[in-house]
């Protein structure tokens, strides 16, 4: 196969815009990305790379903006079919909508159906990597990894472990949580583009024995990520305090059982105590901001500015289906609005970085995805910055790339996603599987 030369606008970050401001990014109005054997082989101007690679197959995206595929650092693929369920806050929402839906994943055919549906939905939104919770059923993990493998996608996922405060049929125990997770890890971790993630749902649904067993598993496989939820809603924090009277705070319910570490991913992290913030930063753990979810379930306003200033690693995510969207564009818009409510206007450079390299850093994958750096895997999204009349008329007035891009961040949807490539292979438009 000859290499492919993608031509269009490009945006490349030299460093984090949270550290260096928008000057962290270099914009080329006529840039080029050379893809060979599923990887990015070179990056430059259209003129230079066209001259250097006359044998390449050329795909000209015109004014389309070529970016790394979006990375969604916290999702629940089993909640696809019950996204946008009305009227509940976290604990009631879990009991009313989420747990009954997750129960259905005891049927492998249902899991396979939803896994494929979910990945096709996110690809259409320009997302090429997700880090997903599954259900307690090992088959739900197999279904997602098989669907990802069929599409060539880099996906991270794990069996969601729960042994209390969940209905009959949706509980394992300390032993089976450990055994199932270990077997799934052995089957999937590092197979192709799959990564296994050790996944205790959150401390209210795990006994101390289960948290301890999963902490032991993580100690055996410290290269794996571990994902869970932390301090999402005030009522939940109070519930954790009553369930773990010995704990210093919510984070301590993980720390005490070996579930705090540099490869830990803590979803939401809104209502943090000073000690929790300090410990998360000291160990180099990542927190994941899920803004549509935080508004939809009524959880609160994440402190992006403060956490970034303090040097935290922060990822961005939809939290489908607590989140109300599959789209990282929509999620960037929600992050902008949440930050505005806290008095900080996130720059479009910061929003795009969070949805690509920032989320990849949270997943410890920035050397493989989330950037256009040569050597990276060629997961790409191409955005049409004039995808609707409303966006086009606003973008027409833009004086620089940021003004041209911001209307698509705020108002764009899957119509703005004109092409998606996974490891160099075109997935959108076109049949995904
Ligand atoms: N906390 C524990 N489980 C969940 C979940 O499925 N979604 C959200 N948003 N929060 C949780
Ligand atoms: Zn979640």
* pLDDT per residue rounded down to tens, the chain (433 residues): 899 999 999 999 999 999 999 999 999 999 999 999 999 999 999 999 999 999 999 999 999 999 999 999 999 999 999 999 999 999 999 999 999 999 999 999 999 999 999 999 999 999 999 999 999 999 999 999 999 999 999 999 999 999 999 999 999 999 999 999 999 999 999 999 999 999 999 999 999 999 999 999 999 999 999 999 999 999 999 999 999 999 999 999 999 999 999 999 999 999 999 999 999 999 999 999 999 999 999 999 999 999 999 999 999 999 999 999 999 999 999 999 999 999 999 999 999 999 999 999 999 999 999 999 999 999 999 999 999 999 999 999 999 999 999 999 999 999 999 999 999 999 999 854 4
Nearest C-alpha neighbor of 279 from the set 305, 324, 241, 248:
248
User: How many angstroms separate the CA atoms of 239 and 229, rounded?
Assistant: 14
Q: Could you tell me the domains of the chain? A: 4-68+371-428 (2.30.40.10), 70-362 (3.20.20.140)
Which residue of 81, 322, 325, 334 sits with most ligand 1 atoms within 8 Å of its CB, as the best mutation to test the pocket? 322
pTM for the predicted model, two decimal places: 0.98
Helices 401-411, 328-341: axis angle to 10 degrees equals 100
User: How many angstroms separate the CA atoms of 410 and 33, rounded?
Assistant: 26
Q: How far is the CA of 153 from the centre of ligand 2 (A)?
A: 21
Spatial contact of 147 and 80, defined as CB atoms under 8 Å apart:
no
Ligand 1: lining residues by beta carbon, under 6 Å: 76, 90, 94, 98, 201-202, 229, 232, 293, 297, 319, 322
- Which DSSP state fits 377? B
Ligand nearest to the CA of 294: 1
Question: Looking at ligand 1, which atom is closest to the CA of residue 76?
Answer: 6
Residue 311, classified by CB atoms within 10 Å of its CB into exposed (0-12), middle (13-18) or buried (19+), is exposed
User: How many angstroms separate the CA atoms of 131 and 51, rounded?
Assistant: 39
C-alpha dihedral (337, 339, 343, 347), degrees to nearest 10: -90
């Amino acid at each position: 196969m000859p290499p492919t030369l993608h031509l269009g606008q490009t945006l490349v970050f030299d460093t984090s815009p949270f550290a260096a401001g928008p000057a962290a990014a270099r914009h080329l109005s006529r840039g080029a990305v050379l893809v060979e054997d599923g990887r990015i082989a070179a990056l430059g101007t259209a003129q230079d790379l066209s001259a250097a690679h006359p044998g390449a197959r050329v795909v000209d995206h015109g004014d389309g903006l070529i970016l790394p595929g979006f990375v969604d650092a916290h999702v629940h693929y089993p909640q696809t079919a019950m996204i946008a369920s009305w009227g509940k806050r976290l604990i009631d929402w879990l009991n009313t909508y989420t747990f009954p839906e997750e129960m259905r994943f005891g049927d492998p055919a249902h899991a396979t159906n939803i896994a494929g549906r979910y990945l096709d939905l996110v690809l259409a939104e320009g997302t090429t990597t997700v880090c997903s919770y599954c259900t307690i059923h090992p088959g739900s993990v197999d279904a997602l990894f098989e669907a990802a493998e069929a599409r060539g996608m880099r996906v991270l996922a794990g069996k969601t472990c729960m042994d209390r405060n969940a209905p009959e049929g949706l509980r394992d125990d300390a032993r089976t949580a450990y055994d199932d997770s270990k077997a799934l890890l052995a089957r999937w971790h590092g197979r192709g583009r799959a990564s296994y993630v050790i996944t205790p749902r959150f401390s209210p649904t795990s006994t101390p024995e289960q948290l301890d067993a999963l902490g032991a598993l993580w100690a055996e496989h410290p290269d794996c990520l571990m994902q869970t939820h932390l301090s999402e809603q005030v009522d939940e924090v109070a519930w954790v305090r009553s369930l773990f009277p010995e704990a210093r705070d919510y984070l301590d319910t993980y720390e005490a059982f070996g579930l705090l570490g540099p490869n830990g991913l803590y979803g939401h992290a809104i209502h943090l105590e000073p000690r929790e913030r300090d410990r998360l930063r000291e160990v180099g753990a990542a927190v994941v901001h899920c803004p549509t979810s935080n508004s939809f379930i009524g959880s609160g306003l994440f402190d992006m500015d403060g956490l970034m200033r303090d040097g935290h690693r922060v990822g961005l995510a939809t939290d489908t289906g607590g989140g109300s969207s599959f789209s990282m564009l929509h999620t960037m818009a929600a992050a902008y609005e949440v930050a505005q409510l806290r008095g900080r206007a996130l720059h479009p450079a910061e929003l795009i970085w969070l949805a690509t390299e920032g989320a990849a850093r949270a997943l410890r994958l920035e050397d493989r995805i989330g950037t256009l750096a040569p050597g990276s895997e060629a997961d790409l999204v191409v955005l049409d910055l004039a995808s609707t009349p409303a966006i086009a008329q606003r973008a027409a007035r833009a004086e620089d790339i940021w003004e041209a891009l911001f209307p698509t961040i705020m108002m764009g949807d899957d119509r703005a996603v004109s092409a998606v490539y996974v490891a160099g292979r075109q997935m959108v438009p076109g049949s995904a599987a």
